[in-house]
């Protein structure tokens, strides 16, 4: 069954990128329908808000440019046109107060994504956009119409233009399963393989470490990988380490594992104490105390930090304050691999920018645009993922408007 042959624009994927594209099209007075595979929209966006929706990050243009390495001009321009200031102004228009944290991360005051999503969907409906859930896009038919699987059977949708915003390849249970790649590849569009980004790192812990410390946060620590360092905390899990510092370093760790087959993180367990001061404190007579107690009393090292130390060479350094201090300041933690891609916060890979023009339109499929995480760019967490999704969604939506207004019917 074919629906809506008179539709100006079909947006496929109701995540932040797709909804932003739909907003641009509806605001231009054009008809737009959003098609979403899941029973409800923006499930990954809602999940992102579970522990505080870090929607953007206050940054200068130069800082932003460094965040999206090797970004093509179109991505840089999109983020320049709709960056942190514009995102905060947009939130305010939705009656959502942005709050900037001490490190520049921006959150909605309510922290969750749901109030923002509710206000956004309501404004989109008022502007005339229609949402069709349980519509899984499967490709194009021989006439170029979009084909969907729905609970009522297959549907075909013809529209004058289309914006694809189908997401990356992680958290498939929320809809972002990357299955769309097959249809694009079959159409001859260049799609790079997905790789995990902002993911946990596997560490081969001893049984004791897993049993006693899985789930423990490691606070007040500095984590270094190559030239990069982070003062954020991280969490020890059964399989390795994740969150905060680990996510932000994981992009470089992933690249190093791919290039060299190995990667080692270095921890500074006491970043506010100098190595000399640690040596001085450790040189106090230990008497009959266990090494663990000595470390706890002289350095105030938490249980999980002591366990990390023992895990990676601390026992061998028991009788040498110099050696132990060096380890406390520079503890090597070998990385055994990455957590599975489906658990990653985001993925890189996807539609190659070479397949797109400056307006995010597929060069070989005029009138068809792509946006969001399905494009081949990468960024660390910190609000930069959503910033690029919203910015490219907006640019693709505006591209579709421009196309509709300039192309003869």
Ligand X SMILES: Cc1cc2nc3c(=O)[nH]c(=O)nc-3n(C[C@H](O)[C@H](O)[C@H](O)COP(=O)(O)OP(=O)(O)OC[C@H]3O[C@@H](n4cnc5c(N)ncnc54)[C@H](O)[C@@H]3O)c2cc1C
Q: What is the binding site for ligand X (CB under 6 A)?
A: 12-18, 35-38, 42-45, 47-48, 53-54, 136-137, 165-167, 171, 175-176, 180, 345-346, 372-373, 381, 383, 385-386, 389
- Identity of the residue, 58 or 318, whose beta carbon is nearer to ligand X in the bound complex: 58
- Classify the phi-psi angles of 246: left when phi > 0, otherwise alpha if psi is within -120 to 50, otherwise beta: alpha
- Identity of the residue, 184 or 205, whose beta carbon is nearer to ligand X in the bound complex: 184
Least CB distance from residue 136 to ligand X, whole Å?
A: 5
Sign of CA dihedral 159, 160, 163, 164: positive
Cα–Cα distance for residue pair 254/191, rounded to 1 Å = 20
- Identity of the residue, 118 or 208, whose beta carbon is nearer to ligand X in the bound complex: 118
* Continuous segment of H or E residues that includes residue 173: none
Least CB distance from residue 362 to ligand X, whole Å?
A: 16
Q: How far is CA 352 from CA 73, 172, 371, 396, in A?
A: 13, 21, 11, 15
Sign of CA dihedral 228, 229, 232, 238: positive
Least CB distance from residue 390 to ligand X, whole Å?
A: 8
Within 10 A of 113 (CB to CB), how many other CB atoms are there?
A: 25
Least CB distance from residue 150 to ligand X, whole Å?
A: 10
Nearest to 358 by CA among 79, 72, 165: 72
Would you give the distance in Å from CA 367 to the centre of its chain? Answer: 28
Cα–Cα distance for residue pair 164/371, rounded to 1 Å = 6
- Identity of the residue, 384 or 403, whose beta carbon is nearer to ligand X in the bound complex: 384
Cα–Cα distance for residue pair 59/391, rounded to 1 Å = 15
Least CB distance from residue 276 to ligand X, whole Å?
A: 39
- Identity of the residue, 15 or 367, whose beta carbon is nearer to ligand X in the bound complex: 15
Q: Are 109 and 120 in contact (CB under 8 A)?
A: no
DSSP codes joined into one string, 49-83 = TTT----EE---HHHHHHHSTT--HHHHHHHHHTS
- Identity of the residue, 167 or 349, whose beta carbon is nearer to ligand X in the bound complex: 167
Least CB distance from residue 177 to ligand X, whole Å?
A: 6
Q: Are 199 and 263 in contact (CB under 8 A)?
A: no
Least CB distance from residue 19 to ligand X, whole Å?
A: 8
- Identity of the residue, 308 or 389, whose beta carbon is nearer to ligand X in the bound complex: 389
Least CB distance from residue 385 to ligand X, whole Å?
A: 3
401 φ, ψ to 5°?
-60, -45
- Identity of the residue, 43 or 155, whose beta carbon is nearer to ligand X in the bound complex: 43
């Amino acid at each position: 069954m074919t629906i809506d042959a008179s539709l100006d624009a079909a947006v496929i994927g109701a995540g932040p990128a797709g909804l932003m594209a739909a907003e641009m099209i509806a605001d231009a007075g054009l008809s737009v329908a959003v098609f979403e595979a899941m029973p409800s929209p923006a499930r990954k966006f809602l999940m992102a808000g579970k522990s505080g929706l870090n929607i953007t990050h206050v940054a200068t243009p130069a800082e932003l440019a460094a965040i999206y390495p090797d970004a093509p001009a179109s991505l840089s321009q999109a983020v320049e046109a709709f960056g942190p200031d514009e995102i905060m102004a947009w939130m305010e228009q939705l009656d959502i107060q942005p709050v900037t944290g001490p490190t520049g991360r921006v959150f909605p005051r309510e922290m969750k994504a749901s109030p923002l999503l509710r206000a956004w969907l309501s404004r989109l409906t008022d502007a005339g956009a229609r949402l069709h859930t349980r519509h899984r896009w499967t490709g194009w038919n021989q006439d170029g119409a979009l084909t969907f699987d729905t609970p009522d059977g297959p549907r075909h949708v013809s529209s004058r233009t289309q914006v694809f915003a189908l997401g990356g390849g992680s958290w498939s249970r929320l809809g972002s399963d990357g299955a769309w790649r097959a249809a694009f590849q079959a159409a001859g569009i260049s799609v790079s393989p997905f790789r995990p980004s902002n993911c946990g790192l596997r560490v081969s812990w001893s049984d004791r470490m897993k049993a006693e410390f899985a789930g423990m946060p490691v606070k007040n620590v500095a984590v270094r990988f190559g030239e990069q360092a982070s003062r954020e905390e991280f969490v020890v899990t059964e399989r390795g380490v994740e969150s905060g510092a680990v996510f932000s370093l994981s992009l470089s760790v992933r690249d190093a594992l791919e290039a060299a087959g190995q990667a080692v993180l270095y921890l500074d367990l006491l970043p506010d104490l100098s190595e000399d001061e640690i040596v001085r404190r450790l040189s106090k007579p230990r008497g009959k105390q266990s090494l663990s107690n000595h470390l706890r009393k002289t350095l105030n090292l938490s249980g999980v930090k002591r366990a990390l130390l023992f895990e990676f060479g601390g026992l061998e350094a028991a009788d040498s304050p110099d050696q132990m201090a060096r380890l406390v300041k520079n503890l090597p933690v070998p990385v055994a691999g990455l957590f599975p891609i489906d658990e990653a916060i985001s993925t890189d890979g996807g539609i190659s920018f070479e397949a797109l023009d400056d307006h995010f339109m597929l060069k070989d499929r005029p009138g068809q645009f792509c946006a969001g995480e399905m494009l081949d760019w990468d960024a660390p967490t910190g609000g930069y993922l959503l910033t690029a999704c919203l910015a490219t969604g907006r640019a693709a939506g505006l591209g579709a408007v421009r196309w509709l207004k300039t192309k003869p019917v």
